[in-house]
A and B are shown apart, each in its own frame.
Chain A
Amino acid sequence: MGSRALDDRPDGFSGLPGNLMMWILILGELAVFGAAFVGFAVARALDPVPFAAGQAHLDGTLGAVNTMVLVTSGFIAARGVAAGRRGRPALARRRMLAAAAVGSVFLAVKAVEYAATLGAGLSIDSDTFFALYFLLTGFHALHVVMGIAVLAIVARWPSVENLETGAAFWHMVDLIWVILYPLVYLVR
């Protein structure tokens, strides 16, 4: 499916890059995160005081830095797919590994953020805000870990379809973060 020239893509599921099963997973993930984000917004509207207090403890600058990290990693992964399509699997492999390395910076920044939060005595059972904060950001961070593993796997077997499929999962993780970040860190 992935080796076909891009301009020949028809409509329907086959018009999407990568494996169909990955797109079914992506649509499911977007539905789950979407429902969780609306739930977070409703919980804040119903009980705004702990949310305002909790958000004041978070470092929005670190979140913005992490956005830049993820979009840069996504760009490198997309470049890796392009290299694979041009018949340069070794270059594609290097780019996917570079994307995974940059992606791991996200986890390092997240670890700094969690250390500061937990160090201030704020944990998942502190209040509603921190329960939802740790659940949403933790669930997303778990997807980052899985995404890094997927990038490493497709770097090992860099067929065009594998590259497209791994990159699609990685871009979905990116997409979720660009909504999660303002919702949890900035809107108050």
Chain B
Amino acid sequence: MRIDRLTWSWLILLGLSTVTLLFAQHEESGSGVGIAGAALLLAVAVAKGREILLHYLELDRAGAGWRVLLSGYLVLLCGAILLVHAAGTWGWIGPGGTP
């Protein structure tokens, strides 16, 4: 059976969700995720978001400006979240790091 791009997107999204599921189960048995873990989780979020934007919302068929605008939104938002998380963990802002 031929698998079309939309179905691939769904399978990719399920696969990436499985990664976060494993991460969540690992986390329940331990402590914080650290900067690298946060970066991985947010990178997975960007990858999921791109699949939704391009293939569910069909931006792959819209103008390039829309892809740049909304993919840029995803990357900038997740980048800002990571930067703030790192700033808190390294003590640049807040009380000086997570306990």
| CA A44 to CA B83, docked complex, whole Å | 12
Q: Which residues of chain A are near B70, meaning CB under 8 Å? A: 30
Q: Which residues of chain A are near B10, meaning CB under 8 Å? A: 71-72, 75
Q: Is the CB of B45 within 8 A of A182?
A: yes
| CA A63 to CA B21, docked complex, whole Å | 8
Q: Quick one: which of B42, B56, B70 has the most chain A CB within 10 A?
A: B56
Q: 8 Å CB contacts to B: which residues of A42-61?
A: 42, 44-49, 52, 59-61
Q: Which residues of chain B are near A45, meaning CB under 8 Å? A: 84-85, 87-89, 93-94
Tell me if B61 counts as interface (CB < 8 A to partner A). Answer: yes
A150 to chain B, nearest CB (A): 15
Q: Which residues of chain B are near A17, meaning CB under 8 Å? A: 57-58, 61-62
Where chain B touches its partner, the secondary structure class is helix
Q: Which one of A59, A67, A74 lies within 8 Å of B20 (CB-CB)?
A: A67
> Contact mask B49-71 → A, CB, 8 Å, 1/0?
10011011111011111100010
> Contact mask B3-38 → A, CB, 8 Å, 1/0?
000110110011001101101110110001100011
Tell me if A121 counts as interface (CB < 8 A to partner B). Answer: no
Q: Is the CB of A64 within 8 A of B42?
A: no
CB closest residue in chain B, given A164 = B58
Instruction: Tell whether A6 pairs with B87 under 8 Å between CB atoms, given A16-B66, A52-B99.
Output: no
| CA A168 to CA B13, docked complex, whole Å | 17
| CA A41 to CA B79, docked complex, whole Å | 11
| CA A61 to CA B23, docked complex, whole Å | 9
A-B contact pairs, 7 of them (CB 8 A): A10-B63, A12-B63, A59-B28, A60-B27, A65-B21, A75-B7, A75-B56
